[in-house]
Structure 1
Amino acid sequence: MATAAAAGERSFDRKLSLLLKEARPSASAVRTAAEAADAVAELIKKIPEQQATPEAARGFVRDLGLASEKLGFTFKPPAVVQVAGSLAAGTLARPDVTADLLVRLPKECFHEKDFLNHRYHAKRCLYLCVIEKNLKSSRKIHKISWSTFQDEARKPVLHVYPG
């Protein structure tokens, strides 16, 4: 009986190791993803100060029902850009190897009460619009698309595909 249990355990271990081998990306794919994430992070950090205007996200601002005159601000480079998610945790899985970048917006881009009436969300979207505009001009970027975080329309997410 002990032999049957040990054989079953070895069989389970073998199946698990085969499954992990199929699911884990190669070391070179992980390295490539990390290098691409670092390159995009450097591009974002180098974006110069510029004026962010509500016209860049007109539909988003309109849908939130906000007045445009209170939304403009001076874009400043992010306080922090860091790799996060499955790449940082070392838990990437196939088929798509992706990297999440967290971009911390500088406090100077906000006023004290921007959390009221969705102004924070509008400014966050405008900040991403400035990043998108600047990344589109880089040869290192193949494609940029938008989605939302957990289907929350007030939380847009920028998807950047390096070239």
Structure 2
Amino acid sequence: MSLKFIKVAALVGSSISFGGNFYISAFAIPAMLSPCSYKAEGQGVVLPAKVLQMQWQHVYDTGKRFFPLLIVGTSALYLYLAYNVPAEARPLYLLAACCGVSIVPYTLAVMMPNIKRIQGEIKEEDTQVGLRLRDDIKTWSRMNCGRAVLLGVAFLAGAWAAVDSS
């Protein structure tokens, strides 16, 4: 298989994973947290906590099914490139692979307590429960930006290495 094809596949995979993670935090979650309708006085009506939790869970589950396989595959391609290109490009491909795979321990160590709080059972519709849930989802969104940064660095390192080793 051509190294050029592998470079393109790795760059496409890492750009999709970076863009998807960034999109979730920058656009999907803020849209979910915005008021869903407006009263005449200009006051927003927010989603009930249970509905908000179900929407977040759907976004989370969709990402959990799609991104890990894509990121592991992309990181494997970067590792393959690191061992099959000239020595000067190896550090950048290794950086790309490490940044991609590093979202797994980041998710488990940093994000998991927050994820468990969001997934906790909502027994009654209470303003305090809704506010806590919204705050937890905002926190998750900021932490997810951390994953997007790692994936962005992976993409940039891979792109730099691909350009340099061409």
TM-score, normalised to structure 1, is: 0.32
Higher Rg of the two aligned structures: 1
Q: Say which structure is richer in strand.
A: 1
TM-score, normalised to structure 2, is: 0.31
Structure with more relative contact order (C-alpha pairs < 8 Å, separation 6 or more)? 2
